[in-house]
Amino acid sequence: MNDDKNYIQLIYRLIVIVISFGFLTIIWPYISSVITMLIFAFLFTTILLPLVDKLESKINSRGISIVIVTISLITTFVVFLKSFASGMLSQARDFSKQIGTKGYDDNLNSLATKLESYLNKYINFPEIDSSNFVSRINIMVGEIIQNLMSLAGAIGGFVFTTIMVLIFTIILLSNYHGFKKSIVQFIPNKYFEMGLRVIFNIERQVSKYLQGQLLAASSVALMSFIGLSILNFMGANLTLVVFIAIIAGLANLIPLVGPFAGMLPAILVAIMNNIGSDIAINHQIINTIPSPFYILDIIIMFLIVQQIDNNIVTPILVGESVGIHPLIVMISLLIGGTLIGPIGMLLAVPAAGILKVIGVEIMFLRRNAHLL
């Protein structure tokens, strides 16, 4: 009789899970953006909460503490963004002055001829019309500029999302401890201690993960700065090195994105700065492999940084902090990337850590249910 009752309860739970999953699948497209905002707000709250609590203990005002921390964060972000944008605009203005000049045309035509000559040594590459190469480049530049104009809507959406995340973060910072007390009140007395332990372990898991990720991002930024500085010593003539390194480090918070986020502006700056330089056009790696404008050097440097980060830095700083097997981490990243894309990859590991904490507590509860 008890076995039949257990089977009925199991079937009932499975039906509830299937119905819940189906319902979530239907409404997910409508709530995914809000859920993503709330998750990011929670992550930012986890990062900023110790600063706010420490400042509140000194000035005895949580509201003022939140205002000071928020304004400091926004000011830092705006100053960084403004400095990087002004630097890139200055680069673009200098580059645009060269377009259409005799030296610019000669450089591109010479580059096209050399590329054609080099490629024909190894593969049967279609003939490049070097006389028309400059006009094609100019047409491509015009098309790129037109495509950039279409990004205005996406930028507007990003600004809106950023503002909403900021508002949610401020609300969470203001009432975080109150929210926590409210959640604790819903825990039955029978499971009170276990509930407190789950909340504490989830907070610790997320906090350790974020600390590990920030340290890993800092290491990527430092390695990128060192690598770009070495390339400058070799004659790459790169500017905005600090900004590019910081961007690579911050973007590294999203797995597999960081190196490419730093690589693209570095290549762009290298081309802009070295147009008209015969040394840059004729540059070769180990006097063998052509690398015009040091492009291949930059790609190799960022790939080396990525390998060091993936195989040494991240496993030590992030993997150990979360306490999840590397295979589970990879599966989590694949699932998160498939479901939500890059954002899903960013959230996959802490989500797996939270599920691990809940799973451990459930197993503990089942083993010791007879004692409750």
Confidence check: pLDDT of 124 > 70: no
State the average pLDDT over residues 146-163.
64
State the average pLDDT over residues 23-27.
78
pLDDT confidence of 131, banded at 50, 70, 90? low
CA distance 267 to 249: 17
Closest CA to 47 of 240, 178, 227, 214: 214
Which string of DSSP letters, residue by residue, matches 291-331?
Answer: -GGGHHHHHHHHHHHHHHIIIIIHIIIIIHHHT--HHHHHH
Per DSSP, the chain holds a count of helices (H) and strands (E) of 14, 2
State the average pLDDT over residues 339-363.
77
Task: Answer whether 202's CB lies under 8 Å from 43's CB.
Answer: no
15-29, 56-70, 157-171, 320-334, range with greatest mean pLDDT: 56-70
3-state helix, strand, coil in the chain (%, to 5): 85, 0, 10
Which string of DSSP letters, residue by residue, matches 138-191?
Answer: HHHHHHHHHHHHTTHHHHHHHHHHHHHHHHHHHHHHHHHHHHHHHHHHTS-GGG
Residue type, 95: F
CA distance 204 to 321: 10
Confidence check: pLDDT of 98 > 70: no
Confidence check: pLDDT of 49 > 80: yes
Of 4 and 42, the one with more pLDDT: 42
Which string of DSSP letters, residue by residue, matches 69-120?
Answer: HHHHHHHHHHHHHHHHHHHHHHHHHHHHHHTTSHHHHHHHHHHHHHHHHHHH
CA distances to 74, 139, 158 from 134, in Å: 42, 9, 35
107-121, 153-167, 214-228, 322-336, range with greatest mean pLDDT: 214-228
Element (H, E) at 123: none
Closest CA to 249 of 274, 276, 270, 228: 228
Confidence check: pLDDT of 101 > 60: no
Residues whose CB is less than 8 angstroms from the CB of residue 5 and which lie 6 or more positions away in sequence, other chains included = none
Confidence check: pLDDT of 294 > 60: yes
Q: What pLDDT score was predicted for residue 230?
A: 92
State the average pLDDT over residues 66-88.
84
pLDDT confidence of 259, banded at 50, 70, 90? low
Of 260 and 218, the one with more pLDDT: 218
Q: Of 18-27, 283-292, 323-332, 361-370, which gets the smallest average pLDDT?
A: 361-370
Q: Of 90-94, 142-146, 191-195, which gets the smallest average pLDDT?
A: 142-146
Confidence check: pLDDT of 226 > 90: yes
pLDDT confidence of 338, banded at 50, 70, 90? confident
Phi, psi (deg, nearest 5) at residue 289: -95, 120
Confidence check: pLDDT of 109 > 70: no
Look-up of token digits 């790129």: 144
Beta bridge partner(s), residue 284: 290
CA distance 85 to 288: 36
What are the residue boundaries of the structural domains of the chain, listed by start?
A: 34-176, 187-372
Q: What pLDDT score was predicted for residue 11?
A: 76
Q: What pLDDT score was predicted for residue 309?
A: 83
Of 274 and 173, the one with more pLDDT: 173
Look at strands 289-290 and 284-285 and give their pairing. Answer: antiparallel
Q: What pLDDT score was predicted for residue 156?
A: 63
pLDDT confidence of 216, banded at 50, 70, 90? confident
Confidence check: pLDDT of 366 > 90: no
Percent of the chain's residues with pLDDT above 90: 4
State the average pLDDT over residues 149-163.
66
Beta bridge partner(s), residue 290: 284
pTM, full prediction: 0.71
Residue type, 247: I
Burial 288-317 (b: 16+ CB within 10 A, else e): eebbbbbbbbbbebbeebbeebeeebbeeb
Task: Answer whether 91's CB lies under 8 Å from 115's CB.
Answer: no
| pLDDT, mean over the chain | 76
Q: What pLDDT score was predicted for residue 68?
A: 92
Indicate the DSSP class of residue 126: P
CA distance 361 to 279: 64
User: What are 147-156's contacts with CB under 8 Å, separation 24+?
Assistant: none
Q: Of 56-65, 121-130, 329-338, which gets the smallest average pLDDT?
A: 121-130
